[in-house]
């Protein structure tokens, strides 16, 4: 008797899945790697893999909506004459004018101001609209130095020396010619319509010792008033944090792998750096080893989406978090209302990432005046403020449940991990145990 | 004229005094003694002050100068006149790495030699070097002019945008997308004006060669992959 296979559907390779096959065909047809915006799309260990231990007997919870839970944070307490006091520990990350429309930048400023927090410039320099709509504005000092001038340094509230970015630690940027309007070109001292490369390293220093001297120069120029942040991409978080602190940073901004970008190579976004979850504890450790934890503030970014993420990052030792992609979604990025147009662009709402092409139907990642006009900066700013306040309320709810009257009283002991990977990265016990990988004595 | 002896007075006092000069003030000339290689001397000047520094300075002297005239009677460390916006900076000795980096305006004159990466990412500044310059100078130079009376090192003008380069001596090698270009009358006139502004009287524009961008790398093209 012979055996006959029952009818089976064809089986595709897990290694050569449909996406991989399509990418191979695309590369073969076009001769160029995929450049896109956004951040990582594949699943990575994340803060979702942690859980809070609400209070019952061994801890005493606070009453929601009744007992106060503080949310304020002051950044830049180490050296700056004028530290920044924020009402909430959630800031808006640097995103450039050029990559984003002027309306989008205005909306971010409006939303942040309504919520009592700061926003940040980006690679394109500072615009008057941005300064005008942001009560607290952090000015990025970037390798490209596009638009850099001492006048804007002086009218900033803090200076962020950008050394790396989570989506592309070690990489520069590329703003394609189609997004270079007259105004963007003028701000960047470059001709219109050509691809504008943002350098991967600062042209006038070559390491942490030079950075220390550079920070000294920036402080002298601004009369030691402004807090100096140093932003690093999440790749070697212990050493980069330690060196940034050694160089004199008031604040270290650590951007994990899930951080966004305006445009870079897909292969870079998906394969360089470490997940945000894996970066926090080594950075905190570095500051603790130097005796600088809490006196040099740590801001964590890269895939922060909810109050739970905020609370978890703070519990692991951060002083604040920063959001970029989530802020863009809040003001209307990838809105399903534009689904038909996303489909015409070969995408769908929730997956649109060709931000570098300047054809964003939501009017956010574009310099096309007609598209940009679709975004109402007042309404969008209101939405961002709502979102920031919801995140803060969520984080407060969790903190109260853990018995804390300030978000900064959250601690690693409030957390357990769902997976071995998360336990190892966050250095908190695997749920149901008192053990995590790497912990001595077990 | 205010005199700041940095052997006795903190640098902070000097920079604060320079920043505190009110528009229209009469007392705008400063003298700095004993700089002894200190970093960030006379940075962030925001008006038409004149500063004479008697001795060598460290990193970032006259950084982000906007309208001032700074003369260093000695050599300068790395990053002199970085991101200058306007005004004039004169180094009577040699300058170290990345002189005039990212400068957006004004004139930087180096009467000696400049080390590597002179004018890197220059964005409108004019730089005149009486001596020679090191490797990778004017890398990613966007606009402005770099004039070299001596020789240039390797990879001059690599990935150049619209900066104009004039070299009187030899060039060890040109960087990616940088080519020699013909000297037309308008270029000779432009160069003559620069030499005049820099106080160079004994050389003629005809003695220089002009270099600029081939503009082949301005937009990404996979067929240029060998150049990246």
Q: What is the pLDDT of residues A187-223, one digit of tens each?
A: 888 888 888 888 899 999 989 999 999 999 999 999 9
Q: Give A141 or A123, the one with higher predicted confidence.
A: A141
Residue A1 pLDDT more than 70?
no
Q: Contact, A426 vs A277, CB < 8 A?
A: yes
Strand partners, B30: B51
What's the whole-number average pLDDT of chain A? Answer: 94
- pLDDT confidence of residue B217: 84
CA atoms within 13 A of residue B12's CA, in its CB half-sphere: 7
- pLDDT confidence of residue A186: 86
CB contact under 8 A, B58 and A213: yes
Residue A442 pLDDT more than 60?
no
CB contact under 8 A, A32 and B120: no
Across the range A88-107, mean pLDDT stands at 95
HEC string for chain B: CCEEECCCCCHHHHHHHHHCCCCCCCCCEEEEECCCCCCCCCCCCCCCCEEEEECCECCCCCCCCEEEEEEECCCECCCCCCCCCEEEEEECCCECCCCCCCCCCCEEEECCCECCCCCCCCEEEEEEECCCECCCCCCCCCEEEEEECCCECCCECCCCCCCEEEECCCECCECCCEEEECCCHHHHHHHHHHHHHCCCCCCCHHHCEEEEECCCCCCCCHHHHHHC
Mutate to test the interface with B, among A220, A223, A225, A356 (most CBs of B within 10 A): A220
CB contact under 8 A, B161 and A190: yes
CB contact under 8 A, A174 and B220: yes
* Residue of chain B minimizing CA distance to A29: B222
Does the ipTM surpass 0.90?
Answer: yes
- Using CB atoms and an 8 Å cut-off, which of residues 144-163 of chain A contact chain B? 144-145, 148-151, 153
Using CA atoms, how far apart are residues B156 and B212, in angstroms rounded to an integer?
10
Q: What is the pLDDT of residues A406-417, one digit of tens each?
A: 999 999 999 999
CB contact under 8 A, B43 and A220: yes
**Residue A83, both tokens:** 């530290």
Residue A257 pLDDT more than 70?
yes
Using CA atoms, how far apart are residues A23 and A27, in angstroms rounded to an integer?
6
Q: Spell out, as residue ranges, where chain B has pLDDT lower than 70.
A: 222, 225-228
**Residue A62, both tokens:** 């606070």
Decide the pairing of beta strands B86-91 and A158-162.
Answer: unpaired
| CB-nearest partner of A203 from B43, B63, B101 | B101
CA distances from A58 to A53, A55, A428 (A): 10, 7, 18
A216 touching B (Cβ < 8 Å): yes
Across the range A43-68, mean pLDDT stands at 94
Q: Contact, A144 vs A123, CB < 8 A?
A: yes
Mutate to test the interface with A, among B16, B60, B77, B138 (most CBs of A within 10 A): B60
**Residue A113, both tokens:** 């101001």
| CB-nearest partner of B142 from A149, A189, A223 | A189
* Residue of chain B minimizing CA distance to A209: B59
Q: Contact, A152 vs A130, CB < 8 A?
A: no
* Residue of chain B minimizing CA distance to A222: B44
- pLDDT confidence of residue A32: 83
**Residue A85, both tokens:** 């006091």
CB contact under 8 A, A221 and B64: yes
Closest alpha carbon to B76 in B92, B89, B60, B95 = B95
Across the range A388-398, mean pLDDT stands at 98
B chain contacts of residue A171, beta-carbon cutoff 8 Å: none
- pLDDT confidence of residue A292: 98
Residue A441 pLDDT more than 80?
no
CA distances from B214 to A193, A382, B124 (A): 16, 48, 19
Across the range A216-244, mean pLDDT stands at 98
The reported pTM is 0.95
| CB-nearest partner of B19 from A151, A190, A223 | A223
Tally the residues of chain A.
442
CB pairs under 8 A between A and B: 112
Across the range A265-280, mean pLDDT stands at 96
A27 touching B (Cβ < 8 Å): no
- pLDDT confidence of residue A184: 84
Q: What is the pLDDT of residues A279-318, one digit of tens each?
A: 999 999 999 999 999 999 999 999 999 999 999 999 999 9
CB contact under 8 A, A223 and B222: no
- pLDDT confidence of residue B228: 63
B chain contacts of residue A224, beta-carbon cutoff 8 Å: 12
| CB-nearest partner of A150 from B16, B85, B123 | B85
Residue A387 pLDDT more than 80?
yes
Residue A173 pLDDT more than 80?
no
Mutate to test the interface with A, among B47, B96, B102, B162 (most CBs of A within 10 A): B102
Using CA atoms, how far apart are residues B186 and A274, in angstroms rounded to an integer?
53
Closest alpha carbon to A55 in A68, A64, A65, A47 = A64
CB contact under 8 A, B102 and A204: yes
Residue A245 pLDDT more than 80?
yes
Distance of residue B216 Cα from the nearest chain A Cα, in angstroms: 11
CB contact under 8 A, B162 and A190: yes
Task: Residue A413: count other Cβ atoms within 10 Å of its Cβ.
Answer: 12
Q: Contact, A95 vs A324, CB < 8 A?
A: yes
A chain contacts of residue B46, beta-carbon cutoff 8 Å: 150-151
- pLDDT confidence of residue A172: 84
B chain contacts of residue A176, beta-carbon cutoff 8 Å: 219-220
* Residue of chain A minimizing CA distance to B39: A213
- Using CB atoms and an 8 Å cut-off, which of residues 2-21 of chain B contact chain A? 11-12, 15-16, 19
| CB-nearest partner of A217 from B19, B40, B104 | B40
Q: What is the pLDDT of residues A314-361, one digit of tens each?
A: 999 999 999 999 999 999 999 999 999 999 999 999 999 999 889 999
**Residue B216, both tokens:** 């082949």
- Using CB atoms and an 8 Å cut-off, which of residues 189-208 of chain A contact chain B? 189-191, 194-195, 197, 199, 203-205
- pLDDT confidence of residue B126: 98
Task: Residue A154: count other Cβ atoms within 10 Å of its Cβ.
Answer: 16
Distance of residue B85 Cα from the nearest chain A Cα, in angstroms: 7
B chain contacts of residue A144, beta-carbon cutoff 8 Å: 121
Q: Contact, B119 vs B99, CB < 8 A?
A: yes
């Amino acid at each position: 008797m012979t055996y006959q296979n029952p009818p089976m559907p064809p089986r595709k390779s897990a290694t050569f899945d449909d996406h991989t096959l399509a990418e191979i065909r695309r590369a073969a047809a076009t001769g160029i790697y995929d450049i896109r915006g956004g951040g990582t799309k594949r699943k990575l260990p994340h803060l979702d893999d942690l859980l809070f231990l609400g209070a019952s007997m061994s801890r005493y919870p606070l009453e929601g909506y009744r007992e106060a839970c503080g949310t304020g944070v002051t950044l830049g307490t180490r050296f700056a004459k004028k530290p920044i006091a924020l009402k909430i520990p959630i800031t808006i990350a640097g995103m450039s004018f050029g990559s984003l429309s002027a309306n989008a930048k205005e909306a971010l400023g409006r939303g942040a101001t309504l919520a009592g927090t700061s926003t940040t410039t980006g690679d394109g320099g500072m615009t008057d609209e941005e300064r005008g709509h942001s009560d607290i504005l952090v000015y990025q000092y970037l390798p490209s130095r596009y638009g850099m001038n001492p006048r804007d340094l002086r009218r900033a509230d803090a200076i962020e020396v950008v050394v790396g970015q989570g989506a592309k630690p070690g990489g520069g940027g590329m703003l394609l010619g189609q997004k270079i309007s007259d105004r963007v070109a003028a701000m960047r001292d470059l001709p219109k319509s050509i691809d504008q490369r943002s350098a991967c390293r600062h042209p006038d220093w070559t390491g942490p010792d030079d950075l220390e001297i550079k920070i000294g120069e920036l402080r002298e120029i601004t009369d030691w008033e402004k807090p100096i942040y140093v932003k690093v991409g999440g790749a070697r978080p212990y050493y980069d944090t330690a060196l940034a602190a050694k160089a004199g940073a008031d604040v270290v901004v650590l951007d994990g792998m899930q951080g966004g970008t305006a445009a870079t190579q897909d292969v870079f976004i998906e394969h360089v750096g470490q997940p945000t979850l894996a970066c926090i504890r080594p950075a905190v450790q570095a500051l603790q080893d130097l005796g600088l934890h809490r006196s040099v503030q740590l801001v964590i970014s890269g895939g922060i989406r909810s109050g739970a993420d905020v609370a978890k990052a703070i519990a692991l030792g951060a002083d604040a978090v920063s959001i970029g992609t989530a802020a863009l979604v809040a003001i209307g990025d990838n809105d399903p209302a534009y689904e038909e147009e996303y489909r015409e662009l070969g995408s769908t709402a929730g997956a649109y990432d060709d931000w570098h092409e300047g054809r964003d139907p939501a009017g956010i990642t574009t310099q096309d005046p007609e598209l940009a006009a679709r975004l109402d900066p007042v309404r969008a700013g209101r939405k961002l403020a709502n979102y920031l306040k919801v995140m803060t309320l969520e984080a407060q709810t969790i903190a109260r449940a853990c018995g804390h009257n300030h978000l900064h009283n959250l601690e690693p002991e409030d957390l357990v991990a769902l997976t071995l990977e998360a336990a190892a990265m966050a250095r908190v016990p695997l749920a149901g145990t008192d053990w995590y990988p790497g912990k001595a004595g077990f | 004229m205010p005199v700041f002896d940095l052997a006795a007075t903190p640098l902070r006092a000097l920079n604060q005094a320079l920043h505190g000069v009110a528009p229209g003030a009469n007392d705008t000339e400063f003298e700095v003694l004993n700089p002894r290689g200190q970093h960030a001397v006379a940075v962030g000047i925001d008006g038409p002050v004149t500063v004479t520094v008697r001795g060598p300075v460290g990193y970032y002297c006259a950084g982000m100068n906007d309208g001032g005239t700074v003369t260093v009677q000695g050599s300068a460390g790395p990053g002199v006149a970085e991101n200058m916006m306007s005004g004039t900076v004169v180094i009577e000795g040699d300058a170290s790495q990345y002189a005039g980096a990212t400068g957006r305006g004004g004139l930087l004159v180096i009467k000696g030699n400049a080390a590597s990466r002179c004018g890197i990412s220059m964005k409108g500044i004019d730089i005149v070097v009486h001596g020679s310059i090191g490797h990778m100078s004017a890398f990613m130079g966007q606009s402005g002019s770099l004039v070299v009376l001596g020789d240039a090192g390797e990879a001059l003008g690599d990935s150049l945008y619209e900066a104009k380069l004039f070299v009187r001596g030899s060039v060890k090698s040109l960087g990616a997308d940088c080519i020699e270009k013909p000297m037309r009358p308008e270029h000779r006139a432009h160069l003559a004006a620069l030499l005049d502004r820099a106080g160079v009287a004994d050389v003629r524009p005809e003695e220089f060669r002009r270099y600029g961008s081939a503009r082949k790398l301005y937009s990404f093209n996979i067929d240029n992959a060998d150049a990246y």
